[in-house]
Amino acid sequence: MKENGSYIISAIVEHKPSVLYQASNMFRRRGFNIETITVGESEQAGLSEMTITIKGDEKIVEQVIRQLNKLLDIVKVSILNPKFALTKELALFKINTPNPAVRSDVINCTEIFKGGNG
């Protein structure tokens, strides 16, 4: 681990309402800042995976992990190695293209970046 770096924390949580609120509220109460947070269903039925990115030193990260482990709906918390973690940014845009030629150009540009259209 590094000093004052960016850390990726993975938490396996129960898939039910209010778990995200409980985790984010813990961060608020302790004064920790969340850089990014995502939650999605896991392969196991009834469980979700919460991925949280925070900045700080080892002491802060250890405290975050201890506090997360105290929450009832958290099953397992671990730190991901950034060398083996795939990170991606997501942006949503709505573009009005009344001209079919322009629409085609926009779709071609999004395909370069593996974007979708809907």
What does the longest C-alpha to C-alpha distance in the chain come to? 56
Name the pLDDT band for 91 (thresholds 50, 70, 90). Answer: confident
Q: Which domains does the chain have, with CATH numbers?
A: 5-80 (3.30.70.260)
> 88, 93, 91: which is closest to 106 by C-alpha?
93
pLDDT digits (tens, 9 = 90+) for 35-77: 999 999 999 999 999 999 999 888 999 999 999 999 989 999 9
pLDDT digits (tens, 9 = 90+) for 5-46: 889 999 999 999 999 999 999 999 999 999 999 999 999 999
